[in-house]
Amino acid sequence: MKPSFEYAALAPIVIMLTAGVLSVVIEAFVPRTYRRGLQLPLVFVSIAGSFVYLVSSATAILNGDAAMTGGQYQGLRQIAAGGSVAIDGPGMFTQGTLLLVAFVGALLFAERSVDPQGDAFASRASTLPGSEDERQFTAQGWSQTEIWPLFLFAVSGMLLFPVSNDLLTMFIALEVLSLPLYLLAGMARRRRLLSQEASLKYFVLGAFSSAFFLFGSALIYSVAGSMTFGTVATALTDTLQDPILLTGVGLIAVGLLFKVGAVPFHQWTPDVYQGSPTPLVAFMGAGTKIAAFGALFRTFYVAFGGLRWEWRPMMWVIAILTMVVGSILAVTQTDIKRMLAYSSVAHTGFILIALVATTPSGISSSLFYLLAYGFTTLGVFALVSLVRDSTGEATHLSQWAGLGKKSPVVASIFALFLFALAGIPLTSGFTGKFAVFTAGVEGGANALVIVAVVSSAIAAFFYARVVVLMFFTPETENTADVVIPSYFTIAAIGISTAVTLLLGIVPQPVLDAVVKAGVFVR
Amino acid sequence: MNGESVVFWITAIFAVVGALGMVLSRKAVHSALWVAFAMVNLAVLYFTLQAPFLATTQIVVYTGAVMMLFLFVLMIVGVDSSDSLLETLKGQRLLATLFGLAFGALLLSGVASTIALRDNGLDVANGDYGGNIQGIAHLVFNRYLLAFEVTSALLITAVIGAMVLAHRERWAPRKTQAELSRERTFTSQVTPLPNPGVLARHNAVDTPALLPDGTPSQASLPKQFRETSHEDEAAKEVTS
Amino acid sequence: MTAALIGLPLFGATVLLLGGRRTNAWGHYFAVAMSASSFFVGVATFMSMLGRSAEDRTIETHLFDWIAVGSFQVPFGLQIDQLSIAFVLLITGVGTLIHIYSIGYMAHDENRRKFFAYLNLFVAAMLLLVLANNYFLLYVGWEGVGLASYLLISFWQHKPSAAVAGKKAFVVNRVGDVGLSLAVMLMFVTFGTVTFSGVSAAAGNGDATSLKLIGFALLLAACGKSAQFPLQSWLLDAMEGPTPVSALIHAATMVTAGVYLIVRAHAIFDLSETARTAVVVIGAITLLLGAFIGTAKDDIKKGLAGSTMSQIGYMILAAGLGPVGYVFAIFHLLTHGMFKAGLFLGAGSVMHGVNDDVNMRHYGALRGAMKITYVTFGLGFLAIIGIPPFAGFWSKDEIIKVAFEQNTLVGLCTLVGAGVTAFYMTRMMTMTFFGEARWEKDVHPHESPSTMTIPMIILAVGSAFGGLLLLFVGDIEAWLEPVTGFATSTEAGGMAWLMPTTLLVIAAGVAYAWNTYGRRPVPVVAPAEVSLLTRAARNDAYGDAINEAIFMRPGLHLTRALVWFDTKGIDGFIGGFAALIGGLSARGRKLQNGYARSYALTMLGGAALIAFVLYLVRL
Amino acid sequence: MNPNNYLILAGILFTIGAFGVVVRRNAIIVFMSVEMMLNAANLAFATAARTTGTLDGQVAAFFVMVVAAAEVVVGLAIIVTIFRTRRSASIDEANLLKY
Amino acid sequence: MQLTTLMLIPLVGAIAVFLLPAAKETLAKQVALAVSIVTAIDAIRLALSLDNSSGAIQFVEKHEWIPAFGISWSLGIDGIAGLLIAMATILVPLIIVAGWWDAENSGRGTVKGFFALILALEVCMIGVFAATDLFLFYVFFEVMLLPVYFLIGRFGGAQRSYAAMKFLLYSLVGGLFMLASLIGLYVVSARTLGQGTFDFVTLTGLHMDAGTQKTLFLGFFFAFAVKAPMVPFHTWLPDAAAEATPGTSTLLVGVLDKVGTFGMIRYLLPIFPDASHYYAPIIIVLACISIFYGALLAIGQTDMMRLIAFSSVSHFGFIVLGIFVFSSQGLAGSSFYMINHGFSTGALFLVVGYLASRRGSKKISDFGGVSKVAPVLAGVLLISGLSSLALPGMSSFVSEFLVLIGTFSENRVAANIATVGIVLAAFYILWMYQRVATGEPSEEVNSTVSEINKRELVAIVPILAAIIALGIFPQAALKYINPAVSDLQKYVSVVDPTPAFGALTEGIGS
């Protein structure tokens, strides 16, 4: 029988994969000097193309679908590629967010005029740090254009991850997404020892957690007879509380919670955020979290929906741990990137509240929160990459003293992002938090909301501390200076600021889109 | 105790011994060999589980290729690198055993549930398309076609990764033999630099050799022993 | 018309205060004119009231609705009736005289303008107090008077003791005002209204306890303002102010406000026996206390202040005796207003003569040098100790007679009081005007200028014939009867023996004082080792010491403890909380020790935790 | 012989692999332990295939091998760079990023 | 659209001032002053044109903002809100005049930044009082913190960043608990009314069961108790008030803290009537503690600004006491008290600001004999001090007495305690005045403390005039407050207790 392969639905993933392959071809055949000139257009065109296609197919299906199902809006509903991909409202919205984040991420990747030696990635990753080779390669201005195929493959992995409809495809998407990021993490141009260490840690722990995921899916498969979510969900309902099932759910949870950065599995986040090159941290911080939460929601709402009363207490414990540890550990950080890493752990905790709510508003609020959080992270890390001193990025907080006076524009935009992360009204962060907390209370997780309120109070302290450091403390001699970037980063910062403000002041259109996205397809 | 359980119990014990061997052996190469041994046992188990294709791929791909890659890397890293078994991190071993046992116990209590899995065998499935391999092929190219295509991306990433991180380029074209000889001869020092102490009263390392014209050659002294004042003189000697 | 009474001095005060330097030249004449014109308006109103029949003498004028919230309606209305016109005449009359007197007294003080502005402000506030038609507006006047007394006591601001005295006076008055505000609240809660007419109408069906409570609250207010027993310590310190201030405020008008309040609220006191007994007790105590303090004071003004305290004790006692005593309380108040103001002005001119020295031990034989002051002070002296033809006798004698009728013990107190009053007044008279001259070296006393002596003469005449005039010609009993109600004493003239005994007691007091101070030479420096009683009298019967010990010192300790608690306690707690988070965070950071294997260990632990939680759920 | 024994064996191998990751210091041995855990998962998949009578398990095991191969390549590449920089393959050497 | 235009004027002003080149300082000040005067006029016109026949909310305007959460940009004012806005907008121009040189003296930050922040603060102040959508109220409640945070942090005294951080954290934590209750309210309204809403009017109609009311009430009350400093949560006020410039402290204490008590009146009582009754006794105890605690601490202070701050803590104790007594006098008294306190504390802060800017220090011990050196300045200090201790004839007396009489009818013990409290008020004010103004001036005081100049007079005289005018004609303000209070009482379903022994109710006066 002929394999069913709905190109229309899978278009975004297919476009990105072909772009990846094409960029490998460019790497192979085009001489070094022209490679960048070809890679950049390929990347931006492919992302833009797949986004345009996604939006058009979404509206088309939407109208068509609405017509088909007599107007009562049931959300986009389609199982594709022989059951291994589920294209539905939330899936498409996550893919849309991912493509936007990838676009801005690509802008940051392409930035070359911030670092005098070139872009943020090492001229030759294989050279020994501090060796003659490295000095020569840098002097001759070599640049590692292999980052683009890796970037494209990572994006395609992220696109597939939230929409995969069976455990095997999800595992493979997880690997496709993670491997390029392990590699990119080790290719920083500055402080290469730290970068290599970050990539080693990310790799070892990533492989470790994917093994858990795999064993969990094996156990689920042994009970349900198939790995597709639909059949798993129906199988769960009739088998009584089979212990193998719950162990499987637990192990899969370990795999996914690692990717999201929830507390017992969060220890990689600070080291990787601090070690890896900043453009990667920006893209990975936003992209991985969005994709991983997409997958987490799909698995726990569709596949294990029936076992809701079993896995909610576990998620309660994880959410509380994540929020509390995330915000408390961030208080005494001295490195700006590590502090932002812990704050990202705290934000994971807030989104877990929406997961625990197990209500349709839970899905829609998490989608909104991830969109808002994604762009704020991109903006924050884009700005961090601008604050530099002679040796590279000035990430120690003492080097940020008095930045408000030295370059008010960058400092005030950074303050805006910090307020967004803290959740001050009129910023996207606030609307996101409000939506998530409302979903939490509707889902009966009142205690979680109280813990969230307390931890965001603690979070407000260390955000405010940075604002005080920038605006109210006098300038010292080792205050870093701010580099004027090229249009790439300016565009990236501009987009993120605009999104952060718009989603704070006029969130209504996006909130409508999110609600219209509806629920997961079975 | 029919044939299958006999085979199971032997290979199972060997597999567990292999795993333990991997964890507990001091030398890295021994661990690699223990792992290979355990994998072979697993291949045997696959045969009992009516998965001939899997068993062969296990032997050929996994044990053959992947483990060999490990051995190659071990050679790069140093075959005799062995790390002492005493623990550096405080409390790591104790906690590791504690958590390991706890996790193992919970896992096994979950898995060894009272409900015996209904074992309805694969004869039917293997028979559908005329054999195990055909069945798997049918599934791979029908049901999991997207997964199959996406793994290609995975493999390309792996290749690029290996190239990026491990392959060392040259930043200047390789010097041909002619260039090397011209470089040596045109530089001032054609004959090998004199050893310290040559044609001098004693062969202590800090006694400078004498040049044909009788002046002491600073260049012959190791860097540490040259008096600072003569530093430039030595340099001039080399380059002139 | 009645509004003009208050308006004129208020207008004077605002003009002078806002005028600034420009009004310095004619400021004081303008103030005197305002006060005098207010007096003439008062007299005119008095004449018109005389013309009308007894019932419709009260004139009620409603200016506007001051506060209207829910059922709490407070009109800004003025009411002038027989009782208040008496007070108006006293205030404006004595006030104008003292304004004239202060022209001389304050001649060479550079912010004289501000002094006259405050005097006018005081007169306006006192008039508002007596003319208000409801207790709430009375409260406003009450506090206004307190403010004016604060400003005037601490007028010489550069003198720290004056500032302290001013603050003390205001704070102690504030304590009294707590009583008044509680009374107003009680009235509103029980009667639903605060106007005099409303309260007296509804008093009939008030329950005993709330009437008693209102009575006690009003008494507390009266003690605050009229320096009665528990709150009397401020009056003696108030002498720091210039003498005209002491004369006007701390003799004639302000301190009598307490009596006015009790008489005005007679409807309440008539109905609650316990409240009246409390008033009598307080009156008696203060009467004896004031007299006792007066005996040992060397400062002439403080002596007079002690005597004021005891005379007001008489009035409060009389008012406490119920309907039979109200009239005589007011009668004694009016006569006391005149002769005490006269005495104070006399003391002022004496001080003026001896370069502002207040210590009587540096006086002696001044009758030769200051004839007019001697004569006027003498007439005032004779009036206060109660020698028959003079004003003091009629009013004080009536009070003693009524006191004996009600309760012999109270009567005895009044009698002893009269005796002691005679003693200390004679002591003052002899030490100042008789005996040999104990003046300081460069002191050569001279008579005060005419602007000071004329008011003294008028007041001396008042204190001489005032009593006769009011009792027989004006027939004060009949005049006040419709407002305060007046019950003639039960057995008329029964106490025939009373008149001679009081005169005998007074004579004994005079004689004893004469032979201790008249004949023997008075030591210039106060003898140190003296009897326990004299020493107690010298420091105002330790009134201040008691206040200090009970309220001030523990209060300051409490404040310091609270400040410590605030900074260490609450801030400490919050700081501690923040430090806890900081500590937790620092320790938590250490967990992230950089080893990939320990991260793997935490992950394994996390997996075990998840498996365990799911296991628990399964049970 | 009920198939649960296979699953139990897989569980034991998985736990030993996990223990290996946490205990051993040499990066390559740690990586081998991860491979051992993946093998345990493969065993579980194969068993599940037989008990449920569907071949999906074996396909999954097959895909796992492919993924494991890719993962090994990337992992060893990273370990080689670490080795070249620090002259030692011990995973504890990499502890500059902390607190 | 009147209220939005009222808010737009200062907003446009703030942006305009901010965009001016930094060098043109005087122009920035003049623009700021002009804008604030225009706003004040417009606000007063609005307040006066309120028809006081009914207590309902007027000038209502409603535009959809985030329909998904039932949030709309809806504004509207009743008597109390109208007067508070008028008071706030009157204070701002006076503060600009008084703080003409504050920005320069602080030596940090640009002058235009200072005035732009003040105008931005004014926008938030109007917004917070005019919002009738609970979410909009919350947004302004939080956004208001930023201008003050930067005003204190940038232009404050020595310990400014500590004080600014403490202020921000206290209010933010309070705000966050309010957010939790706000969400709870939204979810409850979604369950009962089908579509969750934040509209104040519909929410009052929502009759929740007592249990949920109690929990939600706590979240709101905690935020308001932190804002209007009640005792356990007050430690931020003295630091913030002492460190900020006098103008900022006036706005901080005079208007911002009113948001707490205004929130109690506008949102707690109508939406959570049963919970208000349930918690009333405890809150009354807390209020009495605040009265005494604030007064006693004021006595123990050595710094003038801190003394005034603690006196405000005591005044807020009165206001909260008046609110939770539910009698019409109590409620009217506390609403009127909010307005008077704004003026009297404002006057005090400005005068102390003048003294501090002359002498360069805020310590009481550095002063003495000011009345000899600058009699008019001492006179103004005395008048504002007297208004703060509620001397009759001044506005705060009327409001304080109304609060006391309101409390008396409900809970006599609390009334007695509070009445005794006013004695302490007299003590600390007069003791401060005595140490500052009376006695011999030391030679530093002689040299530095100059007489009050024309600019400063222009700033303070209107406030004193307002204090005295409202003291004599309180009905001018009470006539707007009474209808709003009677509405409030309907919500809390409380009727004033009739006097125990009603007099034969003949007409009283005209």
pLDDT of C157-209, one tens digit each? 778 888 888 888 898 888 888 889 899 988 888 888 888 888 888 888 778 88
Residue of C590, C601, C612 to mutate when probing chain B, most B C-beta within 10 A: C601
Give me the phi and psi of D54, to 5 degrees please: -120, 150
Distance to chain C for E95, nearest Cα, Å = 24
Minimal-distance CA residue of chain D relative to C599? D22
The answer as to whether A121 is a domain residue is no
Of D14, D70, D82, the CB nearest to A200: D82
* Contact between chains at E183 and A431 (C-beta distance less than 8 A): no
A331/C585 Cβ within 8 A: yes
Whether E34 has its CB under 8 Å from any CB of chain A: the answer is: no
Confidence of residue E507 (pLDDT cuts 50, 70, 90): very low
Query: What mean pLDDT is reported for chain E?
Result: 88
Mark whether C and E touch (3+ CB pairs within 8 Å).
Answer: yes
Q: Which of A63-67, A187-191, A227-231, E26-30 has the lowest mean pLDDT?
A: A63-67
The count of domains in chain A is: 1
Residues of A in contact with C598 (CB under 8 A): 267
Query: What average pLDDT does the structure give for chain B?
Result: 82
Please give, rounded to a whole number of angstroms, the shortest distance from the CA of D59 to a CA of chain C: 27
Asked if the structure places residue A1 within a domain, the reply is no
Residue A388 within any structural domain of the chain: yes
> In the structure encoding, which two tokens stand for residue B205, read together?
């390392």
Among the listed residues E286, E309, E310, E282, the one whose alpha carbon sits nearest the alpha carbon of residue E296? E310
pLDDT tens, position by position, E76-113: 998 899 999 999 999 999 999 988 888 787 777 778 88
Suggest the residue from A142, A163, A179 to mutate for an interface test with chain B (most B CBs closer than 10 A).
A179
pLDDT at E55: 77
Please tell me which residue of chain E has the smallest CA distance to C145. Answer: E392
User: Taking 80 as the threshold, does the pLDDT of residue B106 lie above it?
Assistant: yes
Residue-wise pLDDT for E202-254, tens only, equals: 888 887 888 888 999 999 999 999 998 888 888 899 999 988 888 899 999 98
Q: How far is D72 from chain C (nearest CA, A)?
A: 18
Minimal-distance CA residue of chain E relative to C144: E392
- Mean pLDDT of all residues in B196-222: 69
- Does any domain span residue A432? yes
How much of chain E exceeds pLDDT 70, in percent? Answer: 98
A234-248, B117-131, C20-34, C80-94: segment of lowest average pLDDT = B117-131
CA distance readout (Å), E385 to B104, B188, C565, E243: 76, 97, 26, 21
Query: What integer pLDDT is reported at residue B120 of this predicted model?
Result: 67
Query: What residues of chain D, 47 to 66, have a C-beta less than 8 Å from chain A?
Result: 47-48, 51-54, 56-57, 59-60, 63-64
- Tens digit of pLDDT for each residue in A250-286? 999 999 999 999 999 999 999 999 999 999 999 999 9
Query: Based on the number of CB atoms within 10 Å of its own CB, is A95 exposed (0-12), middle (13-18) or buried (19 or more)?
Result: buried
Q: What is the predicted pLDDT for the residue at A153?
A: 96
pLDDT at residue number E339: 92
Does the model's ipTM exceed the 0.90 cut?
no
How many C-beta atoms surround the C-beta of residue E209 within 10 A? Answer: 9
Interface check B149 vs D, CB under 8 A: no
The residues pairing with A166 across neighbouring beta strands, listed in sequence order, are A228
- Give the structural domain span for A359: 11-112+144-517
Does the CB of E154 have a partner CB in chain A at under 8 Å?
yes
CA angle, A164 then A166 then A168, to 5° = 100
Mean pLDDT, residues C220-237: 87
pLDDT at A63: 67
Residue A327 counted as domain residue: yes
Q: From residue A23, how far is each of A279, A283, B163, E201, E389 by CA, in Å? A: 19, 19, 15, 61, 80
B96 vs C contacts (CB less than 8 Å): 601, 604
Q: Which of E143, E160, E176 sits opposite A456 (nearest CB)?
A: E176
Question: Per-residue pLDDT averaged across E44-51, rounded?
Answer: 89
The answer to whether D43 touches D9, Cβ cutoff 8 Å, is yes
User: Any idea which residue has 């008396």 for tokens?
Assistant: E408
Burial class (CB in 10 A: 0-12, 13-18, 19+), A240: exposed
Instruction: State how beta strands A85-88 and A77-80 pair.
Output: antiparallel
pLDDT at residue number B118: 67
Q: Please compute the mean of the pLDDT values over residues E403-420 and round it to a whole number.
A: 88
DSSP secondary structure, B196-214, as one string:
TTTTSS---TTSPEE-TTS
Structure tokens, D20 = 């290996």
Q: Is it the case that residue E397 has pLDDT exceeding 50? A: yes
B189 pLDDT tier (thresholds 50, 70, 90): low
Subunits next to E (3 or more Cβ pairs <8 Å) are A, C
Q: Cα–Cα–Cα angle for A152, A156, A161, nearest 5°?
A: 145
Chain B nearest-CA residue for C594: B89
Across residues A156-164, what is the average pLDDT?
Answer: 94
Q: Which residue of A has its CA nearest to C607?
A: A254
Residue B230 CB: number of other CB atoms within 10 A? 16
C601, closest residue in chain D (CA to CA)? D22
CB contact under 8 A, B31 and D32: yes
- Token pair listed for A53: 């296609």
Contacts of A150 in chain B (CB under 8 A): 157, 160-161
What mean pLDDT comes out for the span C53-66?
A: 82
Tell me the C-alpha to C-alpha distance, in Å, between residue A94 and each of A97, A367, C428: 5, 7, 103
Comparing CB atoms, the residue among A3, A124, A149 nearest residue B169 is: A124
Judged against a pLDDT cut of 80, whether residue E438 lies above it is answered with yes
For residues C183 and B118, which has the higher predicted lDDT (pLDDT)? C183
Average pLDDT, whole number, for chain A? 89
- Kindly indicate the confidence band of residue E504, based on its pLDDT and cuts at 50, 70 and 90: very low
φ, ψ for residue B233 (rounded to 5)?
A: -60, -45
Examine the pLDDT at A182 and tell me if it is beyond 80. Answer: yes
CA distance A57 to A14: 14
pLDDT for position D20: 93
pLDDT tens-digit map of E139-193: 999 999 989 988 888 888 888 888 888 898 889 889 999 999 999 999 999 888 8
pLDDT value at C526 more than 60: yes
Shortest CA distance from A134: residue in chain B: B171
Residue C582: C-alpha distances to residues C49, E270, E328, E436 (Å): 82, 41, 48, 42
Instruction: Give me the mean pLDDT over the C294-323 stretch.
Output: 88
* Angstrom distances, CA of residue D63 to CA of A166, A169, B154: 14, 10, 11
SS (H, E, C) C157-224: CCCHHHHHHHHHHHHHHHHHHHHHHHHHHHHHHHHCCCEHHHHHHHHCCCCHHHHHHHHHHHHHHHHH
Q: What's the whole-number average pLDDT of chain C?
A: 85
pLDDT tens, residue by residue, E307-336: 999 999 999 999 999 999 988 889 999 999
The pLDDT, as a whole number, for residue E369 is 84
Which of C595, C598, C601 should one mutate to test binding to chain D, selecting the residue with the greatest count of D CBs within 10 A? C595
Given a cut of 60, is residue B177 above it in pLDDT? yes
D67 touches chain A (CB under 8 A): yes
**What is the percentage of chain A residues whose pLDDT exceeds 90?**
63
Answer for the pair C395, C312: CB distance below 8 angstroms, yes or no.
Answer: no
Residues of chain E found within 8 Å of residue A509, distances taken between Cβ atoms: none
Question: pLDDT value at position A75?
Answer: 39
Q: Are A479 and A399 in contact (CB under 8 A)?
A: yes
How far is residue B155 from each of residues A20, B150, B160, D73, E294, measured CA to CA in Å?
12, 9, 9, 9, 73
Query: Where are the domains positioned within chain E?
Result: 2-509
Burial class (CB in 10 A: 0-12, 13-18, 19+), A438: buried
Cβ–Cβ contact E172 with C under 8 A: no
Query: What's the confidence (pLDDT) of residue B228?
Result: 63
3-state secondary structure of B140: helix
Q: Is the pLDDT of residue B19 over 60?
A: yes
Tell me which chain D residue has its CA closest to the CA of residue C591: D99
CB contact under 8 A, D78 and A222: no
pLDDT per position as a tens digit, C121-137: 999 999 999 999 889 88
Which of D15, D22, D34 is the best substitution to test chain C (most C C-beta atoms within 10 A)?
D22
D positions 1-20 inside 8 Å of C (CB): 18
Asked whether residue A449 is domain-assigned, the answer is: yes
Q: How many CB atoms lie within 10 A of CB E97?
A: 21
For residue A389, pLDDT over 50 is answered with yes
CA atoms of D73 and D68, how far apart (whole Å): 9
Our CA-based measurement puts residue A303 at a distance from the nearest CA of chain C, in whole angstroms, of 17
Contact A223, A247 (CB under 8 A): no
Contact at CB, C594 and D98, closer than 8 angstroms: yes
pLDDT digits (tens, 9 = 90+) for C283-305: 999 988 888 888 888 888 888 88
Is the pLDDT assigned to residue A197 strictly greater than 90? yes
Q: What is the pLDDT of residue B197?
A: 54
A76 pLDDT band (50/70/90 cuts)?
Answer: very low
User: Pick the residue with more confidence: A82 or E345?
Assistant: E345
Q: What is the mean pLDDT of residues B133-152?
A: 89
Asked if residue D24 has pLDDT above 50, the reply is yes
Share in percent of chain B as helix, strand, coil (round to 5) = 65, 0, 30
Mean pLDDT along residues C584-596:
89
Q: CA-CA distances (angstroms) from residue E189 to A447, E182, E207, E267?
A: 19, 10, 10, 15
Handedness of CA E169, E173, E179, E182 (dihedral sign): negative
Which residues of A sit within 8 Å Cβ distance of E?
Answer: 419, 424-426, 431, 433-435, 437-438, 441-442, 446, 449-450, 453-454, 456-457, 460-461, 464-465, 468, 471-473, 507-508, 511-512, 515
Does the pTM surpass 0.95? The reply is no
Is the CB of residue B147 less than 8 Å away from at least one CB of chain A?
yes
pLDDT at A67 over 60: no
Res. B1: pLDDT tops 60 = no
Asked if C202 and E501 come within 8 Å (Cβ–Cβ), the reply is yes
pLDDT of residue A71: 34
Number of neighbours of residue A425 by Cβ within 10 angstroms: 23
Highest mean pLDDT: which of A230-244, B37-51, B168-182, C107-121?
B37-51
Q: For tokens 């302000």, what's the residue?
A: C254
